[in-house]
Structure 1
C-alpha cells in the first residue's frame, strides 16, 4: 500500500529530507539448519538493486557524518546514507564492491570486543547451537530444564526464549551463561566471532578505502540503557578509542547496540553528545526531517530486511509512508 501511495504522490511530506539505511550481513543467500536472524541478511544483488532504485528516485548518497550539515542546508534533493552494524567480514567482501561500483559512501560500526575476539555474538552462537542439537539443558533462573529441539518450530521457540533471557537478565551474565552452554556442546563462541567479524588489520584496511568510514558500536554490544551511566559512557568511549587507534581519527558517529526504545534512552543520547559524537543512530524506524537537527544523537534508521528483498520495498520505506501511517 505504501508503495502505491508513494507512486500516486500521496503524503509527500512523509519522505522528509532523507534516510539512513541499516544493514548487518551482506552475503549470498545460504542455507543452514537454523536462521533466526535471516531478517538481518541481504544479498549483494539486493543491495545493488536498492542503490539503483534510490538513484533512480533522485537520492544523493552522502556520508553519515554529513547529515548534520545537510539537515541545516536548504538543499531539497533527498539524501541517503548507508550504515552497517557489528563489523562483519562480509561487509568488506561483498558490500564494499557494491558500494564502490556506485560510488556510495558507507559507515561500518565497530564493536571493539568483537574485533579483539574478547566478546561473543550470542545470537550467532545460539543459531549454531540450536541448529545442530536435538535437546539442551539450561537454567533460565528456576533450575535446569530440558528443552527439546526436534523441529524447526521448537528451535525458533527456544531462540525466542533465550532472547527474552538476554533482555531480562543482566546481559553480561546471560551471554556468559550462553557461551558456557555452547562450550559444553563443543562450540567455541569466540571462534564464531573470529570467523564472522573483521579484526584490527581488516578494519584498518577497510577504513583506508575512500568511501568507507568506521564508527563506534560500544565495547561489548550490550544495551546501553540497561547499564549505569558510568558503564554506558565507558562502553561508548572504549569503542571510540579503539577506532581512533585504528585510523588515527576520532569517529564522529556511534550506533547504539540493538537501538530499540528499550535499548537506548534519552540519557544515552546525552552521553553520546558529551563524548563528542556528532551523530548517533538507533534502529527505531523513520525518515529524517528538519526537527532532527536538534536530535542528532538519536536518529532513526530504516532497516533493509532480508525477508523483503525487492526494490519496491526500498521505495516504500524511503517514502516514509509506512512510518507515518504507523504513527
Structure 2
C-alpha cells in the first residue's frame, strides 16, 4: 500500500493521498423492497444489510426480531447495574465495551408455515459487542474454517458415493461457549444497544457481565472453535443398531469423517463445519442420525436436505 501511494504521487495522480474507512454496504429503501415483494407475491431471494438509521422510524416492526435475539444472547451474560461495575473493578481486570445491533433482511424460511410479511422475508437482528474497543493483548484469536476447496471436495466425494447432503446451523453458537473465569482473567462488561432501551428490553442503567462468548468479541471464534471440536470428538451417534464416531481431518481440521466405532473401513459419511454452520453428508439414515446427535448437544436449526428441486444455503 505504501509503495503504491508513493508511486501514484510520483505520477502526479494524487497530490494528497489518503486512506478512508470502508463502511458496510447497506441497501436503501428496504421497506419499499419488502412492500414490493408482498404486493407482487414474490418472496425475497437475497439477503440485504439494513442501515440502523433506516430501522429507527419503524423500530416496532423489528421488535420481534430484536426480542428473539435478546432471548438468545441473555443466556450468556448476567444483568448488573452500573454501580456493580465499580465494585468489580476493585478486585478484577474489567473491560467495558459498547454493543450494537446488526440488521438484515433474509429470504423466508421456505417451510410454508410463515404467514403475512414473514412468508415473503425474514427480519433478523443480531446483537454484537464492539470488540475493536478491547485491549490489544488478547492472545491467540485465529480460528480456521472450511475452505471453498474443501466444500467442493466434500460435495464431489458425496456425489461419487451417491450420498445425501443436509445442512443445519447452531443457534447462538458463541453464546454457548463459556469464557475463562479463573484468577487474572478479564471480565467483560457490555453496554446494551440503545435500541433495546428504546423498546423497553433493557434498562438505561443496565450492564451485561459476560459469562459466555458473544458475537463481536475477538476471542469468541477461537473459543467456540475449540469448544465445538471437543464436543464433536466426544460425540457418539447411534444408528442402525451400531455406534458411529467422528474423526477430525489432519490436512483439513474442519472436515470430520464418520466411521463405525472400532472400524477401519472407508468412512460412511462426512461432516464439514464452518463456524456454526454444519454440512452433513452420507446415507440419508446416517445424515439424520448425525443431525439428531448434534441437536441433542446444541440447539440447532432443523436439518435442511439438498434436493434436486431444493437448493440449500448457509445462514
Do Structure 1 and Structure 2 share a fold, with TM-score over 0.5? no
Which protein is richer in strand relative to its size? 2
Length-normalised TM-score, structure 1: 0.28
**Greater CA radius of gyration, 1 or 2?**
2
Structure showing greater relative contact order (alpha-carbon pairs closer than 8 Å, 6 or more residues apart): 1
Which protein is richer in helix relative to its size? 1
Length-normalised TM-score, structure 2: 0.28
